[in-house]
Amino acid sequence: MIRNYLTVAWRHITRNRLLSSINVIGLALGMSCSLLIWLWISDELSFNRGFKEADQIYFVRQTSGMYTNEYTPGPLTEALKKDVPDVEKATRFRSWTDDYLIKAGQVAAKEVGMYASDDFFDIFQYPVLQGSPVSSIKSPNSIVITRHVAETFFGTTEAVGRTLQLNNDKYYRVGAVIEDIPKNSSIQFSWIVNLSVVEEDWMKNWGNNSFSTYVKLRPNSNQAQAETRMKGLPKRYRSDITDTPILQPIGDTYLYGEYVNGKPVGGRISYVRTFGLVALLILLIACVNFMNLATARASLRAKEVGIRKVIGAMRSSLVGQFLGESVLLSLLAAVLAIGLVIGALPLVNQFVHKQLSINFFAPTFWISMLFLIVFTSLIAGSYPALFLSAMQPVRTLKGALTTAPTGAVFRKSLVVFQFTLSLFLIIGMLVIGQQMHYVRTKQLGLDREHILWVPVEGALLPKMETYRQEIQRSGAVVSVTTSGALPIEIGSSSTGGLTWPGKDPKDEAFVYSMKAGYDFAKTMNVRLVDGHDFTSPDSGARYLVNESAARIMKLKNPVGTEISYQIGKGPIVGVMKDFHLRSFHEPIQPLVISLYPKWTNYFLIRTRPGQTDKAIQVAEQVARKLNPAYPFSYHFLDEDYEKLYRSETLVNTLINYFGLLAILISCLGLFGLATFTAEQRKKEIGVRKVLGATVTSIVGLLSKDFLKLVMIAILIASPIAWYVMNQWLQNFAYKIDIEWWVFALAGLSAISITLLTVSFQSIKAALVNPVKSLRSE
C-alpha cells in the first residue's frame, strides 16, 4: 500500500511539474532559512556552557537597585571567600585584556592576554596539553599559554620550562600549555599571568570597580542561598558603599546582559528569540504556499478521490496518501535546502562573524532535520489532506462543483496571513534600517571620525609627551591627547570615592571615570560649556566633568570647585557638554575625567580631513624612532563605535535578507495561485473577449481579487508591526519615531509586488486567442 501511495504521489508530482516545483522551491527556501537560523541560535546558546561543573560557576555583578554594574572592586574576591561559606573558589581579572608584545629568541608577535588571581584555573578548567595551570597561575614568575602561542613561538606544544618575554620587560617561565580558548567563550586570552604582577594600591580600593569576578559555589549550595549571605557585604568593609553582589550563572552571561532593578531583563537573548520567530514565520509562509496550491487544485483531483472511495478506500487511507505526498515534497525540499545552506554558509559566516558549519555526524543535526521535515509535512499537508479526503464521491463523480465556498474563503485567508507576515518583515526592515542609520549619523557630542588611536607601549611610556609634541607639529594632525581608556571602554565606579563640597554621605550613584592628558576636549572635539581644557603646564589634580556629573553634585558654579577623586584633591577646570560615552542603548552618564598623563594607555590623534594617510605615516615614523623594538599599530575610533552596534547591524542585515526571502516565497505562491486561477477561468476570459473585453479590463479582473487580500493584510500587519518595533526601540535610550510613511511604503511595496507577480499570468491569459479557449464548447 505504501509503495502504491509513493507511486501515485510521484506521478502526481511529475504530472504537475510547475506547481510541484513552486512547492518544492518555496519549502526549500523556508527550510534553508530555518536551518541557517538554527545553526546561529545553536552557536549563541552554546556560549560559556562548555566548562566543567558550569552549573556551579557564577559571574558576580553589583547592584544598588537602580544600577547594576558588571565590574566589581578588587577586595571583593577575598571578602567572598572569607565571609560567604557557599563560595568555594573566587577569582578576578582586570576588566580589559592586554595586547602585549611577546618575544622568544628571534620570534616576536603581539598576543592578547590577561592578569588573573590565584583561583582562575580552579574555576575554569580548560583542556591541558602540558604542565599544571592551577599551580602555575599562583606563581608571579610563570605564564600559562595556549596552543596557538606555544606553536607560534616554539613550534610545539611541549613548551613547559621555556621562557617568554612580555613587552620587552619581564621574563616568564612557561608553566603550562592549554588548548586554544573556544570561540563560544566570553573569556578570551592567549596567555595569562598572576594579577599580583601588575596589582597597584588603587586596585585594592572598595570604591573602584575595575574587575570581572567569578565564583564557584560548593556542590551543596545554590544561587539564592549564596546571594542572601552576600547581601550588604561591601558595606561591612566600607560604610558608604550600598552596593550588593548578585550572581549570574555563567551560561547566562552572554545572553542576558541587561539588568533592571537587579534583575536580568534581556540582552542578546532578544535576538535569539527574534530570529527564532523569523525562522518560524518564513517556514509558515512556505507552508501556506503549499496549502494554498494544494486546496486550489482540489477540483483536479476530485474524481480520483471519488473513485478511491467507491472502491472502498477509507478516509484515513486517503489522509495518509496526501500526507505521504506532502512528506515526499518535504524530503525533496530538505535535500535542496541542505545544498542551499552549504552554498550560503561562507557568505553567512562573513556577516555573523562566526564559523558556522553543518556537522553531518552529529545526531542532533539529523534529529533537527527530521523534526523540520515532519513539522513542515504536517503543517503544509494536514489541511489539504483533510480537505480532499472529505469530498463526497457521488457529487465528484457526477462532476458537481467539488469546492465549497468555505474552501475559497480559507485560501483567501491563507493569502492574507502570508502577506501579513511578509509586510511585518518589510516594516521591520525599514524601521531597523532607520534606527541603524540614526545611530551611525547622529552627533555623539565628540568626534569619532578622523580619530585614530595608537597604544602607549614600550619605550613610548616615558616619552609620551615627546611623541605627542612631535606628531602635533605635523600639518596633517589637528591635535593629540592621551587617555586611560577608549571612550567606548570607560569604566564606572561608585560616588563613594568621589567627594565634593556639601555632599550628603547618603548620596550614592555611579559615575564614569577616566584619566586623560592635555588637549583632551580639543582632540575629541568636545564642546566646553564653561572653563577650559587640560592645558600645559597644568599639573597636579585637575578635573573635567560633564553636565550630568555637575548635576548629580548639585554644583551651580562647578568651575573652580575643589573635589576629591582618584588622583587626589583638585579643582574642576572645565564643564563638558554631555556626550555619548558608549552606545545609544544607554543614557548619557555622569563622567569625571582626571588629568593624569602618566597613567594613560592610548594616544588619540585627530587628523585633518583628507590627510589621514599622511598623519598615519608621521605617527609611524615617530613611533619607530622612539620605540623601535615594537611594531607600530593603529586603529580608527569609528571602527570601535561600529562594534558597539555589531548585533544591531547583524539584525539589520539578516532581517533585510530574510524579509526579501519571505517576499520571494510569497511571490512564488502568488504566482502559482495566479497561474491556476487563470487556467480555471480561461473559458470565462474567452467569453469576455468575444463580448469585447480589453486586455486591460481582463488583467484588472484577475488582479483585483488579489489586491483586496493584500489591502486586508496591510490593515492587519501595520498595527502589529508598529507595536513590535516600538517595543524593540525601547532598547535604545535614543531612538527614532516610527513615521507613517514607513507603513505607506511597506504597503505600496506589497501592492507593487503583487501586481508584478499576478499581472504576468493575467496578461498571458488575456492574450490567449478566445477560439482556443472556447473550441470545446
Please check whether residue 682 lies inside any domain of the structure.
no
Instruction: Among 257-266, 347-356, 359-368, 675-684, name the one with the lowest average pLDDT.
Output: 675-684
| Cα distance between residue 507 and residue 67, in whole Å | 14
DSSP-assigned states of every residue in 271-322 = HHHHHHHHHHHHHHHHHHHHHHHHHHGGGGGHHHHHHHHHTT--HHHHHHHH
Residues 462 and 507 in one domain: yes
Residues 312 and 289 in one domain: yes
3-state secondary structure 425-446: HHHHHHHHHHHHHHHHHCCCCC
Please check whether residue 648 lies inside any domain of the structure.
no
Q: What total number of domains does the chain contain? A: 3
| Cα distance between residue 428 and residue 742, in whole Å | 9
| Cα distance between residue 216 and residue 376, in whole Å | 44
The CA-based angle 710-711-716, given to 5 degrees, is 95
Residues 376 and 474 in one domain: no
Cell of 379: 503543517
* Contacts with 428 (C-beta within 8 Å, 6 or more apart), sequence order: 655, 659, 721, 724, 725
DSSP 143: E
Residues 291 and 189 in one domain: no
Residues 210 and 344 in one domain: no
DSSP 591: E
Please check whether residue 242 lies inside any domain of the structure.
yes
Q: Which helix (H) or strand (E) holds 516?
A: strand 510-516
Rounded to 5 degrees, what are φ and ψ at 479? -165, 155
Please check whether residue 643 lies inside any domain of the structure.
no
Q: Which of 248, 277, 309 is the last residue of a domain?
A: 248
**C-beta of residue 13 within 8 angstroms of C-beta of residue 328:** yes
Query: What pLDDT shows up at residue 401?
Result: 44
Closest CA to 337 of 347, 345, 325: 345
| Cα distance between residue 393 and residue 90, in whole Å | 76
pLDDT tier at 284, thresholds 50, 70, 90: confident
Please check whether residue 601 lies inside any domain of the structure.
yes
Residues 307 and 350 in one domain: yes
Q: Are strands 128-131 and 191-194 parallel, antiparallel or unpaired?
A: unpaired
Residues 317 and 395 in one domain: yes
Q: What confidence tens digit (pLDDT) does each residue in 520-576 have?
A: 988 888 889 999 999 877 678 899 999 888 888 888 889 988 988 878 889 999 999
pLDDT at 297 over 50: yes
Q: Which of 217, 248, 279 is the last residue of a domain?
A: 248
Query: What pLDDT shows up at residue 662?
Result: 76
Residues 226 and 184 in one domain: yes
For residues 763-769, average pLDDT: 64
* Contacts with 159 (C-beta within 8 Å, 6 or more apart), sequence order: 130, 145, 150, 153, 174, 177
Please check whether residue 705 lies inside any domain of the structure.
no
Residues 353 and 269 in one domain: yes
Please check whether residue 152 lies inside any domain of the structure.
yes
Confidence (pTM): 0.76
Tell me the residue ranges of DSSP E strands in 626-698. Answer: 635-636
Q: Which of 232, 248, 264 is the last residue of a domain?
A: 248
Cell of 765: 491569459
DSSP 499: B
Residues 61 and 28 in one domain: no
- Identify the residue whose cell numbers are 571602554: 489
| Cα distance between residue 258 and residue 241, in whole Å | 22
Residues 61 and 9 in one domain: no
pLDDT tier at 151, thresholds 50, 70, 90: very high
Q: What confidence tens digit (pLDDT) does each residue in 609-624 have?
A: 888 889 999 999 999 9
The mean predicted confidence, pLDDT, of the chain is 82
Percent above pLDDT 70 for the chain: 80
Query: What pLDDT shows up at residue 157?
Result: 92
Range of the domain at 156: 54-248
Cell of 424: 511585518
**C-beta of residue 498 within 8 angstroms of C-beta of residue 484:** no
Residues 110 and 82 in one domain: yes
For residues 446-461, average pLDDT: 82
Higher-pLDDT residue of 681 and 739 is 739
pLDDT tier at 403, thresholds 50, 70, 90: very low
Please check whether residue 757 lies inside any domain of the structure.
no
pLDDT at 743 over 60: yes
pLDDT tier at 77, thresholds 50, 70, 90: very high
Q: What confidence tens digit (pLDDT) does each residue in 569-610 have?
A: 899 999 998 887 666 667 778 889 999 888 888 999 998 888
